[in-house]
A and B are shown apart, each in its own frame.
Chain A
Amino acid sequence: MYRLYPRLPLPLAADLAISYAARPLEELLAASDCLHADAQFAPTGGNRASNQDMLTLQHLVRTCANHHGYPSPLSADKGRAFDTACGITLLEHMYLHPSEASHLEMWAFMTCVLVPNIVRWRFMGTSTTIERFIGSDRGLRRNTFGRLWWRTYLLQQPHLEHPYQLFNLLTEDDLVQVTERTGIAASSNLATAFCTAFLRAAQQHEALSRRTLLREAIKRLQRLLAMLSFTALDRITLDQTLDTVFAQTAQALIASTE
């Protein structure tokens, strides 16, 4: 059964985020809670998460952070490892459906009420930007936890023995490039096919900059998305079309360096 989570109105969340931006972790840990007087649930769509469900979720996220070195500052590699582990934890334990997950207010409750200290730790610095607490585009952009749930949801491959293998093969920059493009992130089928085609191409053209290959291929794909219906293609044709996109991109990049 799916769960509904408390939603925090965005002006309240923004207010909290501003006040949390530069505060030390221990203060935010003390401020974290499972309840907020102004939070509301959607009227339908699942069972309301109980206080115990919220405590469990808080515990799971905190445990995941502890395993990755909390409260010590994160290196880029550890940040990446935390993101993967936390994304899988959220996907497997929140019992959340996309309709509920598309509400920024739900993610704002998590970042501003449930575990604000983890947000601050994950994006430590003099201050943490407000968008790490709120984000945009269904939570997929910038929201500390929304982006992890969505990218895990979109790039999981449940039919494989290792359903999350793409997260071990793609870099943070690769993931951002793919999941923040609405045309590609509209479908798990297209997103996973595009990533696997990219990995094949990157292996085949090791001399090319991986970053440039991906970015140029995305530009090419976005032009095609306006004309082609990738959704209407079967997987074999989709894979062939995406392989062609990468082959043409690689060819153009090689030609430009000659």
Chain B
Amino acid sequence: MSIIRRRPYATPTSEHVKIGAWNIMNGDDMHQLPAFLPDWDPAVVIHASVPVRVDYAGVLADCHLGPDARLRLAAIWTSPGTGLRDHGDLIDLDSQNINDQFYASVRIDGTLVSHEVQLTTQLVLLSPGKSAHPLAPKLPGSIVVAQTQTLQLEGKGSRFPVEVIDFASTYYPDRAAWVLYWDEEDLHQTVLGHMCLYINARHTRVMRAVSQLQLEDVGIREAIRLDVARTLLLGALNHDEFLHRPQVFAEGSVGAAIYAMTQLYFPGTSLTQLGYEAAHSSLFEPKLQATLQAFWDI
């Protein structure tokens, strides 16, 4: 799906639509939505709510819509893990809403989601009314405002998928220590669903390094971190679509995660330049070691 950077119609200024932070509801308790839900499992219903203040007249004016236009406030959830999307509250607004605060909520059945949930607050056009202004949104469903918050469902405790298996049962050499399993040809796949660091159950030192976090094993963890970063970057930088159109990769995808890595580790360096360095220069590897500060501060 294309990613829209600027909508081809007028949208309201932020002073006329103020979307607050999502809160998670637990009975009568309400807490700010955390980044992770460590105790989540599919039996858990996620009940969340977001406050939104809308100056209806201001929104209509900003969007060049007349008083007969109709808008709807929608609470939408999407789970990249299951690929499913649905809505919670749909609140129809009208000209009576001078500067009212609403609470839009969702109740998400845990069996419908996995890995991650994106909660999106949308203000959408239901009907444009009689406005003929060329910049006014026209199609029902046009999103005039959207804001998303992401919630990681930490059912297994780790953000990067790691599993311990016996390499003797696989085609990997049984004396290998770890391997990153991913498909470097398809960067649209999700990180949480299609990428996994496998640790050889027979390799007790590496097993201990990733499971017990003892100080003497920090070097092994650093080596794994460097190897994973190098593998992902070299794989993606060899990929034409990634080099030339990194913005096509949706949030949560392998491509988007690696693009975020390039921005974090190599700010100011273009992908084309990085791709060239990775393919033709011996500088890439030491640059990566330096930016990751690998093996320092042990």
Stretch among A8-16, A158-166, A170-178 lining the B interface: A8-16
A186 touches B172 (CB 8 A): no
- The interface residues of chain A lying within 8 Å CB-to-CB of B76 are 229, 231-232
| Interchain CB contact (< 8 A) of A102 among B43, B81, B166 | B81
A-B CB proximity, top 3 nearest: A97-B111, A45-B42, A44-B41
B169 touches A227 (CB 8 A): no
B111 touches A18 (CB 8 A): no
| Interchain CB contact (< 8 A) of B140 among A97, A189, A241 | A241
* Interface members, chain A 223-242 (any B CB < 8 Å): 223-234, 237, 240-241
| Interchain CB contact (< 8 A) of B143 among A45, A182, A228, A240 | A228
Chain A residue nearest to B164 in the complex (CB):
A9
B193 touches A138 (CB 8 A): yes
B219 at the interface (CB under 8 A from A): no
Stretch among B53-61, B85-93, B203-211, B230-238 lining the A interface: B85-93
CA distance A230 to B146 in the complex (A): 14
Q: Smallest Cβ distance from A167 to chain B, in angstroms?
A: 20
B119 at the interface (CB under 8 A from A): no
B1 touches A11 (CB 8 A): no
CA distance A61 to B263 in the complex (A): 48
- The interface residues of chain A lying within 8 Å CB-to-CB of B81 are 99, 102, 138
User: CB-CB contacts of B1-35 with A at 8 A, as 1s and 0s?
Assistant: 11110011000000000000000000000000000
B294 at the interface (CB under 8 A from A): no
B82 at the interface (CB under 8 A from A): yes
Q: Smallest Cβ distance from A249 to chain B, in angstroms?
A: 15
| Interchain CB contact (< 8 A) of B194 among A43, A44, A136 | A136
B74 at the interface (CB under 8 A from A): yes
Known contacts: A104-B193, A104-B194. The answer to whether A187 contacts B126 by CB under 8 A is no
- The interface residues of chain A lying within 8 Å CB-to-CB of B43 are 44-45
CA distance A224 to B124 in the complex (A): 14
A222 at the interface (CB under 8 A from B): yes
B198 at the interface (CB under 8 A from A): yes
B142 at the interface (CB under 8 A from A): yes
User: CB-CB contacts of A165-197 with B at 8 A, as 1s and 0s?
Assistant: 000000000000000001101110100000000
Query: Size of chain A's interface in residues, with CB distance under 8 A?
Result: 49
Binding site for A on B (CB under 8 A): 1-4, 7-8, 41-43, 72, 74, 76, 78, 81-87, 90, 110-115, 122, 124, 126, 139-143, 146, 155, 163, 165-166, 169-172, 179, 181, 183, 186, 189, 193-194, 196, 198, 250
Known A37-B169, A98-B112, A189-B86; further 5 A-B contacts with Cβ < 8 A? A44-B42, A99-B82, A99-B112, A231-B86, A232-B72
Known contacts: A227-B142, A237-B140. The answer to whether A232 contacts B74 by CB under 8 A is yes
B1 touches A226 (CB 8 A): yes
CA distance A104 to B186 in the complex (A): 15
A57 at the interface (CB under 8 A from B): no
B112 touches A232 (CB 8 A): no
CA distance A161 to B8 in the complex (A): 42
* Interface members, chain A 101-159 (any B CB < 8 Å): 101-104, 136-138, 140
Chain B residue nearest to A221 in the complex (CB):
B1
B189 touches A232 (CB 8 A): no
A-B contact pairs, 23 of them (CB 8 A): A9-B170, A11-B198, A12-B169, A15-B170, A38-B165, A44-B43, A98-B112, A98-B114, A99-B114, A100-B42, A102-B81, A138-B82, A140-B83, A225-B2, A226-B1, A228-B140, A228-B142, A228-B143, A229-B76, A229-B122, A231-B76, A231-B87, A232-B74
A11 touches B111 (CB 8 A): no
Q: Smallest Cβ distance from B167 to chain A, in angstroms?
A: 8
- The interface residues of chain B lying within 8 Å CB-to-CB of A79 are none
CA distance A38 to B163 in the complex (A): 12
B90 touches A15 (CB 8 A): no
* Interface members, chain A 7-42 (any B CB < 8 Å): 9-12, 14-15, 18, 37-38, 42
B183 touches A136 (CB 8 A): yes
Q: Smallest Cβ distance from A191 to chain B, in angstroms?
A: 11
A229 touches B7 (CB 8 A): no
A9 touches B163 (CB 8 A): yes
CA distance A166 to B83 in the complex (A): 21
| Interchain CB contact (< 8 A) of A229 among B113, B143, B165 | B143
Q: Smallest Cβ distance from B285 to chain A, in angstroms?
A: 27
Chain B residue nearest to A98 in the complex (CB):
B82
Q: Smallest Cβ distance from B39 to chain A, in angstroms?
A: 10
Which among B1, B3, B181, B196 has the highest number of chain A CB atoms within 10 Å?
Answer: B1
- The interface residues of chain A lying within 8 Å CB-to-CB of B4 are 226-227
- The interface residues of chain B lying within 8 Å CB-to-CB of A43 are 41, 155
CA distance A226 to B250 in the complex (A): 12
Which among A99, A100, A230 has the highest number of chain B CB atoms within 10 Å?
Answer: A99
- The interface residues of chain B lying within 8 Å CB-to-CB of A223 are 2
